[in-house]
Structure 1
Amino acid sequence: MRLLLRILLGVVVVSGLLAIGLHFYARSKRTQETDYHLTLKKTLTVTSSSFPPGGDMPVNCTCKGQEVSPALNWDSDIPGIESYVILTTDYDVPTPAFPLFNLSHWVVYNLPDVVHSLPEGVSAEQMRMLGGKTGKNGAGALAYIGPCPPVGRHAYIFRVYALDQALTFEETPDKQAVLNAMKGHVLAYGELTGYFQ
């Protein structure tokens, strides 16, 4: 009986230490990304006809609906833009009170400079016709992951970046690969935050 209690106590302690480690790692990664964005020009205005800035995302764009991507619009009169990148992240997984990791919901890159919007529920075929490419989300799939928070009201940050070049990869990139590749090539960026519980 004592051995069983010791084993259970050990499991609890290890699980607790693992959770604390994940929490601080997630916070560190978010801080790194926040610091990086402070070095960029935040001069793109990003809007959506699907939800207002800082507002609740529609059910249709979440796992409780059809899980379609929201409409996005951005404007820019900056010269020298060659392509756009869109990265969507939830930093509150599994709960805003104690996040353990950051989940990448959408990775889009190499949208041509003439494209300044995406319709709600953009399909893979529409994305190809627009000239954009989809990278791997946090689940490893080439798709948009709709909000599906297990606990609490999560923030979903949609960031659009204007680049001075298109990006090339030997294999399909994830969010981190795109972030790494575009460093030194971001002319401007903007963001839009939506919430869902």
Structure 2
Amino acid sequence: MRMIWRILTGFLIVLILLLLVLHIRARGHRREEDITLATLPRTITLSSQSFPPGGDLPMACSCKGPGNSPALDWSSTTAGVRSYALLATDYDAVLARFPIFNFSHWVVYNLPPTVRSLPEGVTPEQMLLLGGKLGDNGMNEQRFVPPCPPFDRHRYTFRVYALDTTLSFNRIPDRQNLLDAMQGHILEYGELTGLFEK
């Protein structure tokens, strides 16, 4: 009995340490992003007809509904834009009070500069017709992952980046690949945050 208790205690300690390491790592990655963003002009106006800034995402754009991607519109007056990239991220996964990773819900890149809006529920096929490309989300799929937080009320951050180039990859990029490739090419960005709780 004492041996079982020691094994369980050891397992619990290892689990707590692992969660703590993941939490510190996730916060570190977010801090790095924030430092980079602080050096860039936030001059793109990003809005949505699906939800207000800082408001609740509708059921239609969640796992409680059909899981549509939200409608997005952005405006920019910066010259020299060659493409737009879009990232949707949940920085509150899994617990909003103790996040352990930054979950990627949507990775889009190489949207032509003439495209400045996406309809609600845009499909991967429609995205390709618009000229955009999809990267791997947090589930290693090329699509929008609808919000479905297991606990708490999560914040979902949508960012549009204006780039002075188009991007190419040897394989399907994930969120970090895209962030790395965009370094030195971001002209401006815009941000919109929505909330959701099951």
| TM range, smaller chain | over 0.9
Whichever residue aligns with residue 130 of structure 2, its letter is L
CA distance in 2, matches of 1:71, 1:129: 17
> What's the TM-score once normalised by structure 2's chain length?
0.98
Deviation for aligned residue 1:95: 1.1
**How is 1:1-197 mapped onto 2 (pairs within 5 angstroms)?**
1-197=1-197
CA distance in 2, matches of 1:139, 1:165: 27
Whichever residue aligns with residue 119 of structure 1, its letter is P
Q: Cα deviation per residue 1:79-105 (whole Å; 9 max; x = unaligned)? A: 100100000100101111111111000
Asked whether the equivalents of residues 124 and 142 of structure 2 are also in contact (C-alpha less than 8 Å), the reply is: no
- The SS at the match of 2:152 is coil
Deviation for aligned residue 1:164: 0.6
Deviation for aligned residue 1:129: 1.1
CA distance in 1, matches of 2:185, 2:19: 36
Deviation for aligned residue 1:75: 0.2
CA distance in 2, matches of 1:30, 1:96: 14
- The SS at the match of 1:100 is strand
Whichever residue aligns with residue 164 of structure 1, its letter is D
> What's the TM-score once normalised by structure 1's chain length?
0.99
Q: Cα deviation per residue 1:114-162 (whole Å; 9 max; x = unaligned)? A: 0000000001221111100010001100010010011111000000000
CA distance in 2, matches of 1:124, 1:25: 31
CA distance in 1, matches of 2:166, 2:151: 38
Whichever residue aligns with residue 105 of structure 1, its letter is H
Whichever residue aligns with residue 120 of structure 2, its letter is E
CA distance in 1, matches of 2:134, 2:29: 23
CA distance in 1, matches of 2:23, 2:172: 28
- The SS at the match of 2:142 is coil
CA distance in 2, matches of 1:185, 1:26: 24
Asked whether the equivalents of residues 42 and 189 of structure 2 are also in contact (C-alpha less than 8 Å), the reply is: yes
Deviation for aligned residue 1:51: 0.2
- The SS at the match of 1:110 is strand
Deviation for aligned residue 1:39: 1.1
Whichever residue aligns with residue 31 of structure 2, its letter is T
Percent identity for Structure 1 against Structure 2: 55
Whichever residue aligns with residue 192 of structure 1, its letter is L
Deviation for aligned residue 1:77: 1.2
Whichever residue aligns with residue 99 of structure 2, its letter is P
Where in structure 1 are there 5+ consecutive unaligned residues? none
